[in-house]
Structure 1
Protein backbone atom coordinates (compact mmCIF):
# COMPACT_ATOMS: atom_id res chain seq x y z
CA UNK A 1 0.00 0.00 0.00
CA UNK A 2 1.61 3.21 1.18
CA UNK A 3 4.92 1.90 2.48
CA UNK A 4 7.05 -1.21 2.48
CA UNK A 5 7.35 -1.05 6.30
CA UNK A 6 3.77 -0.70 7.50
CA UNK A 7 4.83 -1.38 11.09
CA UNK A 8 6.76 1.92 11.21
CA UNK A 9 4.21 4.71 11.26
CA UNK A 10 5.96 7.33 13.37
CA UNK A 11 9.48 8.68 13.26
CA UNK A 12 11.96 7.07 15.65
CA UNK A 13 12.28 10.40 17.45
CA UNK A 14 8.66 10.06 18.60
CA UNK A 15 8.98 6.57 20.12
CA UNK A 16 7.99 6.19 23.75
CA UNK A 17 5.02 8.55 23.68
CA UNK A 18 2.37 6.96 21.42
CA UNK A 19 -0.87 8.76 20.66
CA UNK A 20 -4.26 7.21 21.37
CA UNK A 21 -4.69 5.99 17.79
CA UNK A 22 -1.13 4.64 17.72
CA UNK A 23 -1.74 2.69 20.93
CA UNK A 24 -4.84 1.17 19.36
CA UNK A 25 -2.90 0.44 16.12
CA UNK A 26 -6.16 0.36 14.16
CA UNK A 27 -6.26 3.89 12.82
CA UNK A 28 -7.50 3.63 9.22
CA UNK A 29 -4.86 6.08 8.01
CA UNK A 30 -1.72 5.01 9.89
CA UNK A 31 -2.54 1.95 11.99
CA UNK A 32 -0.31 -1.04 11.24
CA UNK A 33 -2.85 -3.50 12.67
CA UNK A 34 -5.72 -2.44 10.41
CA UNK A 35 -5.78 -4.89 7.48
CA UNK A 36 -7.97 -2.52 5.43
CA UNK A 37 -6.03 0.59 6.45
CA UNK A 38 -3.81 2.80 4.34
CA UNK A 39 -0.70 2.17 6.51
CA UNK A 40 0.60 5.69 5.90
CA UNK A 41 4.03 6.48 7.31
CA UNK A 42 4.61 10.17 8.02
CA UNK A 43 7.89 11.91 8.65
CA UNK A 44 7.74 15.17 10.51
CA UNK A 45 9.97 18.20 10.29
CA UNK A 46 10.04 20.31 13.41
CA UNK A 47 12.97 22.50 12.37
CA UNK A 48 10.57 25.44 12.62
CA UNK A 49 8.75 24.57 15.88
CA UNK A 50 6.07 27.19 15.20
CA UNK A 51 5.20 25.60 11.84
CA UNK A 52 5.96 21.87 11.81
CA UNK A 53 5.34 19.87 8.64
CA UNK A 54 4.51 16.23 7.93
CA UNK A 55 5.02 14.24 4.75
CA UNK A 56 4.05 10.77 3.52
CA UNK A 57 4.25 8.87 0.27
CA UNK A 58 1.38 6.75 -1.01
CA UNK A 59 0.42 4.82 -4.10
CA UNK A 60 -3.18 3.66 -3.99
CA UNK A 61 -4.88 1.04 -6.12
CA UNK A 62 -8.24 -0.20 -7.37
CA UNK A 63 -9.40 -0.90 -3.77
CA UNK A 64 -9.51 2.89 -3.34
CA UNK A 65 -11.28 3.72 -6.60
CA UNK A 66 -14.09 6.20 -7.05
CA UNK A 67 -14.43 7.21 -10.68
CA UNK A 68 -12.67 4.70 -12.97
CA UNK A 69 -8.92 5.11 -12.59
CA UNK A 70 -9.11 7.71 -9.84
CA UNK A 71 -9.16 7.87 -6.06
CA UNK A 72 -12.52 8.07 -4.27
CA UNK A 73 -13.19 11.62 -3.04
CA UNK A 74 -13.75 10.45 0.52
CA UNK A 75 -10.28 8.94 0.54
CA UNK A 76 -8.83 12.19 -0.79
CA UNK A 77 -10.35 13.87 2.27
CA UNK A 78 -9.04 11.05 4.49
CA UNK A 79 -5.47 11.53 3.24
CA UNK A 80 -5.65 15.27 3.89
CA UNK A 81 -7.19 14.81 7.36
CA UNK A 82 -4.59 12.20 8.30
CA UNK A 83 -1.74 14.45 7.18
CA UNK A 84 -3.07 17.39 9.18
CA UNK A 85 -3.62 15.27 12.27
CA UNK A 86 0.06 14.31 12.28
CA UNK A 87 0.93 17.94 13.07
CA UNK A 88 -0.63 17.77 16.52
CA UNK A 89 2.08 15.57 17.96
CA UNK A 90 5.05 17.90 17.31
CA UNK A 91 2.87 20.62 18.83
CA UNK A 92 2.51 18.41 21.95
CA UNK A 93 -1.29 18.33 21.88
CA UNK A 94 -4.02 15.76 21.51
CA UNK A 95 -6.48 17.28 19.07
CA UNK A 96 -9.42 16.19 16.98
CA UNK A 97 -10.74 17.47 13.69
CA UNK A 98 -13.50 20.03 14.24
CA UNK A 99 -13.88 21.30 10.69
CA UNK A 100 -12.23 20.56 7.37
CA UNK A 101 -12.56 22.01 3.88
CA UNK A 102 -11.34 20.19 0.80
CA UNK A 103 -10.59 21.68 -2.59
CA UNK A 104 -10.63 18.93 -5.22
CA UNK A 105 -8.41 20.64 -7.78
CA UNK A 106 -7.72 17.71 -10.14
CA UNK A 107 -8.67 14.04 -10.04
CA UNK A 108 -6.18 11.97 -8.00
CA UNK A 109 -5.02 9.02 -10.15
CA UNK A 110 -4.59 5.49 -8.90
CA UNK A 111 -1.28 3.63 -9.25
CA UNK A 112 0.78 6.85 -9.20
CA UNK A 113 3.29 7.89 -6.51
CA UNK A 114 1.61 10.60 -4.46
CA UNK A 115 3.09 12.91 -1.86
CA UNK A 116 0.87 14.08 1.00
CA UNK A 117 2.18 17.11 2.90
CA UNK A 118 0.81 19.19 5.73
CA UNK A 119 1.81 22.34 7.57
CA UNK A 120 0.68 23.94 10.83
CA UNK A 121 -0.47 27.50 10.14
CA UNK A 122 -1.34 28.99 13.51
CA UNK A 123 -2.80 28.40 16.96
CA UNK A 124 -5.48 30.39 18.79
CA UNK A 125 -5.89 28.91 22.27
CA UNK A 126 -7.24 25.38 21.80
CA UNK A 127 -7.79 25.95 18.06
CA UNK A 128 -5.12 24.61 15.72
CA UNK A 129 -5.19 25.58 12.05
CA UNK A 130 -3.51 23.23 9.57
CA UNK A 131 -3.36 22.81 5.80
CA UNK A 132 -2.47 19.83 3.61
CA UNK A 133 -1.94 18.98 -0.04
CA UNK A 134 -1.83 15.90 -2.22
CA UNK A 135 0.73 16.20 -4.99
CA UNK A 136 1.69 14.22 -8.04
CA UNK A 137 5.20 15.37 -8.83
CA UNK A 138 4.88 19.14 -8.42
CA UNK A 139 1.18 19.34 -9.32
CA UNK A 140 -1.28 19.98 -6.48
CA UNK A 141 -4.27 17.68 -6.92
CA UNK A 142 -6.16 18.47 -3.71
CA UNK A 143 -5.80 20.87 -0.81
CA UNK A 144 -7.40 20.88 2.60
CA UNK A 145 -7.67 23.31 5.48
CA UNK A 146 -8.54 22.02 8.91
CA UNK A 147 -9.48 23.28 12.32
CA UNK A 148 -8.42 20.95 15.13
CA UNK A 149 -9.43 21.38 18.76
CA UNK A 150 -6.94 20.47 21.49
CA UNK A 151 -8.44 18.22 24.15
CA UNK A 152 -7.27 16.94 27.48
CA UNK A 153 -6.40 13.24 27.19
CA UNK A 154 -7.29 12.78 30.89
CA UNK A 155 -10.86 13.87 30.15
CA UNK A 156 -11.11 11.29 27.37
CA UNK A 157 -9.75 8.59 29.66
CA UNK A 158 -12.19 9.56 32.44
CA UNK A 159 -15.05 9.32 29.95
CA UNK A 160 -13.87 5.86 28.86
CA UNK A 161 -13.09 7.06 25.35
CA UNK A 162 -9.52 5.77 25.18
CA UNK A 163 -8.29 2.26 24.75
CA UNK A 164 -5.95 0.84 27.36
CA UNK A 165 -2.29 0.53 26.49
CA UNK A 166 -1.11 -2.96 25.55
Structure 2
Protein backbone atom coordinates (compact mmCIF):
# COMPACT_ATOMS: atom_id res chain seq x y z
CA UNK A 1 0.00 0.00 0.00
CA UNK A 2 1.30 3.47 -0.89
CA UNK A 3 1.69 5.88 2.00
CA UNK A 4 -0.42 9.02 1.62
CA UNK A 5 1.26 12.28 0.71
CA UNK A 6 -0.03 15.72 -0.13
CA UNK A 7 0.59 15.42 -3.88
CA UNK A 8 -1.75 12.46 -4.38
CA UNK A 9 -5.40 12.89 -5.26
CA UNK A 10 -6.47 9.26 -4.91
CA UNK A 11 -8.40 8.48 -1.72
CA UNK A 12 -6.47 6.05 0.48
CA UNK A 13 -9.43 3.65 0.42
CA UNK A 14 -9.00 3.21 -3.35
CA UNK A 15 -5.32 2.34 -3.07
CA UNK A 16 -6.10 -1.30 -2.33
CA UNK A 17 -5.86 -3.55 -5.36
CA UNK A 18 -8.83 -4.20 -7.62
CA UNK A 19 -11.78 -2.25 -6.15
CA UNK A 20 -14.99 -3.22 -7.95
CA UNK A 21 -16.83 -0.82 -10.26
CA UNK A 22 -19.47 -0.28 -7.57
CA UNK A 23 -16.76 0.47 -5.00
CA UNK A 24 -15.21 2.95 -7.39
CA UNK A 25 -18.61 4.52 -8.07
CA UNK A 26 -18.83 5.43 -4.38
CA UNK A 27 -16.02 7.89 -5.19
CA UNK A 28 -17.47 9.13 -8.46
CA UNK A 29 -16.96 12.91 -8.63
CA UNK A 30 -20.53 13.39 -9.84
CA UNK A 31 -22.60 11.03 -7.72
CA UNK A 32 -20.31 9.23 -5.29
CA UNK A 33 -21.49 9.55 -1.70
CA UNK A 34 -18.03 8.69 -0.33
CA UNK A 35 -16.19 11.44 -2.24
CA UNK A 36 -15.84 14.39 0.15
CA UNK A 37 -15.06 16.74 -2.76
CA UNK A 38 -17.68 15.36 -5.15
CA UNK A 39 -20.93 16.92 -6.31
CA UNK A 40 -23.13 14.32 -4.52
CA UNK A 41 -25.76 14.42 -7.27
CA UNK A 42 -28.85 12.28 -6.75
CA UNK A 43 -30.85 11.27 -9.82
CA UNK A 44 -34.33 9.89 -10.29
CA UNK A 45 -34.92 7.81 -13.39
CA UNK A 46 -38.16 7.57 -15.33
CA UNK A 47 -38.32 4.21 -17.10
CA UNK A 48 -41.99 4.38 -18.09
CA UNK A 49 -40.71 3.96 -21.67
CA UNK A 50 -37.94 1.38 -21.01
CA UNK A 51 -36.20 1.96 -24.34
CA UNK A 52 -35.91 5.70 -23.72
CA UNK A 53 -35.22 6.38 -20.03
CA UNK A 54 -34.96 9.92 -18.64
CA UNK A 55 -32.84 10.89 -15.61
CA UNK A 56 -33.40 14.04 -13.56
CA UNK A 57 -31.44 15.71 -10.77
CA UNK A 58 -32.26 18.86 -8.79
CA UNK A 59 -29.09 20.53 -7.52
CA UNK A 60 -27.49 23.78 -6.42
CA UNK A 61 -23.76 24.50 -6.33
CA UNK A 62 -21.71 26.97 -4.33
CA UNK A 63 -18.44 28.90 -4.49
CA UNK A 64 -16.34 25.73 -4.58
CA UNK A 65 -17.53 25.27 -8.16
CA UNK A 66 -17.05 28.85 -9.32
CA UNK A 67 -15.57 29.89 -12.65
CA UNK A 68 -16.64 33.40 -13.62
CA UNK A 69 -17.79 35.32 -10.53
CA UNK A 70 -21.18 34.04 -9.39
CA UNK A 71 -21.31 31.24 -11.99
CA UNK A 72 -20.38 27.57 -12.31
CA UNK A 73 -17.03 26.77 -13.94
CA UNK A 74 -17.45 25.54 -17.53
CA UNK A 75 -15.60 22.31 -16.79
CA UNK A 76 -18.01 21.58 -13.95
CA UNK A 77 -20.94 22.31 -16.30
CA UNK A 78 -19.50 19.73 -18.72
CA UNK A 79 -19.03 17.24 -15.86
CA UNK A 80 -22.66 17.74 -14.80
CA UNK A 81 -23.91 17.06 -18.31
CA UNK A 82 -21.65 14.01 -18.73
CA UNK A 83 -22.77 12.64 -15.36
CA UNK A 84 -26.44 13.05 -16.30
CA UNK A 85 -25.96 11.23 -19.59
CA UNK A 86 -24.08 8.40 -17.89
CA UNK A 87 -27.07 7.80 -15.61
CA UNK A 88 -29.08 6.62 -18.61
CA UNK A 89 -26.78 3.62 -19.12
CA UNK A 90 -27.90 1.69 -16.04
CA UNK A 91 -31.62 1.48 -16.95
CA UNK A 92 -30.47 0.35 -20.40
CA UNK A 93 -28.63 -2.48 -18.58
CA UNK A 94 -25.23 -1.64 -19.99
CA UNK A 95 -21.84 -0.50 -18.78
CA UNK A 96 -20.81 2.29 -21.14
CA UNK A 97 -18.21 5.04 -21.22
CA UNK A 98 -18.18 8.45 -22.81
CA UNK A 99 -16.56 8.42 -26.25
CA UNK A 100 -17.49 11.89 -27.44
CA UNK A 101 -19.42 14.82 -26.02
CA UNK A 102 -20.43 18.22 -27.41
CA UNK A 103 -21.43 21.00 -25.04
CA UNK A 104 -23.34 24.14 -25.91
CA UNK A 105 -22.94 26.82 -23.24
CA UNK A 106 -26.04 28.89 -23.92
CA UNK A 107 -26.07 31.17 -20.85
CA UNK A 108 -23.90 31.38 -17.74
CA UNK A 109 -24.99 28.78 -15.16
CA UNK A 110 -25.45 30.52 -11.79
CA UNK A 111 -24.23 29.45 -8.38
CA UNK A 112 -26.52 29.42 -5.30
CA UNK A 113 -29.69 28.83 -7.34
CA UNK A 114 -31.84 25.73 -7.76
CA UNK A 115 -31.13 24.06 -11.10
CA UNK A 116 -32.44 20.99 -12.91
CA UNK A 117 -30.24 18.54 -14.80
CA UNK A 118 -32.06 16.21 -17.21
CA UNK A 119 -30.83 13.57 -19.61
CA UNK A 120 -32.48 11.24 -22.09
CA UNK A 121 -31.51 8.37 -24.34
CA UNK A 122 -31.97 9.15 -28.04
CA UNK A 123 -31.01 5.98 -29.89
CA UNK A 124 -28.72 2.97 -30.07
CA UNK A 125 -26.60 1.68 -32.94
CA UNK A 126 -24.89 -1.55 -31.87
CA UNK A 127 -22.49 -0.64 -29.06
CA UNK A 128 -23.03 3.08 -29.67
CA UNK A 129 -25.48 4.88 -27.37
CA UNK A 130 -26.58 8.42 -28.18
CA UNK A 131 -27.75 10.57 -25.25
CA UNK A 132 -28.51 14.24 -24.59
CA UNK A 133 -28.64 16.35 -21.43
CA UNK A 134 -29.46 19.89 -20.37
CA UNK A 135 -29.31 22.20 -17.39
CA UNK A 136 -32.27 24.49 -16.77
CA UNK A 137 -32.92 27.19 -14.23
CA UNK A 138 -36.11 27.36 -12.13
CA UNK A 139 -38.08 29.18 -14.84
CA UNK A 140 -37.27 26.47 -17.42
CA UNK A 141 -34.64 28.37 -19.40
CA UNK A 142 -32.03 26.02 -20.85
CA UNK A 143 -28.57 27.24 -19.80
CA UNK A 144 -26.40 24.46 -21.24
CA UNK A 145 -26.95 21.30 -23.25
CA UNK A 146 -24.89 18.41 -24.49
CA UNK A 147 -25.04 15.47 -26.82
CA UNK A 148 -22.94 12.45 -26.07
CA UNK A 149 -21.82 9.20 -27.64
CA UNK A 150 -21.29 6.38 -25.16
CA UNK A 151 -19.72 3.03 -26.04
CA UNK A 152 -20.96 -0.15 -24.39
CA UNK A 153 -18.04 -1.90 -22.72
CA UNK A 154 -17.79 -5.63 -22.09
CA UNK A 155 -17.20 -6.08 -18.37
CA UNK A 156 -15.18 -9.25 -19.06
CA UNK A 157 -12.69 -7.22 -21.13
CA UNK A 158 -12.36 -4.74 -18.27
CA UNK A 159 -11.69 -7.64 -15.91
CA UNK A 160 -8.98 -8.99 -18.23
CA UNK A 161 -7.38 -5.56 -18.25
CA UNK A 162 -7.42 -5.57 -14.44
CA UNK A 163 -9.95 -2.74 -14.24
CA UNK A 164 -12.64 -4.74 -12.42
CA UNK A 165 -12.97 -7.82 -10.35
CA UNK A 166 -14.59 -10.66 -12.29
CA UNK A 167 -17.90 -11.87 -10.90
CA UNK A 168 -17.83 -15.22 -9.09
TM-score range, shorter chain: 0.7 to 0.9
**Unmatched 5+ stretches in structure 1:** 1-18
> What's the CA shift for 1:163?
6.0
Pairing 1:158–2:160 present: yes
Matches within 5 A, 1:1-166: 20=21, 22-24=22-24, 25-137=26-138, 138-162=140-164
Q: Which deviates the most, 151-160 or 72-81?
A: 151-160
Contact 2:156–2:166 (8 Å) recurs in 1: no
In the aligned structure 2, how far is the partner of 1:100 from the partner of 1:35? 26
In the aligned structure 2, how far is the partner of 1:73 from the partner of 1:33? 24
Q: Secondary structure at the match of 1:156?
A: helix
In the aligned structure 2, how far is the partner of 1:23 from the partner of 1:43? 21
In the aligned structure 2, how far is the partner of 1:87 from the partner of 1:123? 12
**Unmatched 5+ stretches in structure 2:** 1-19
> What's the CA shift for 1:151?
0.6
Count of aligned pairs: 146
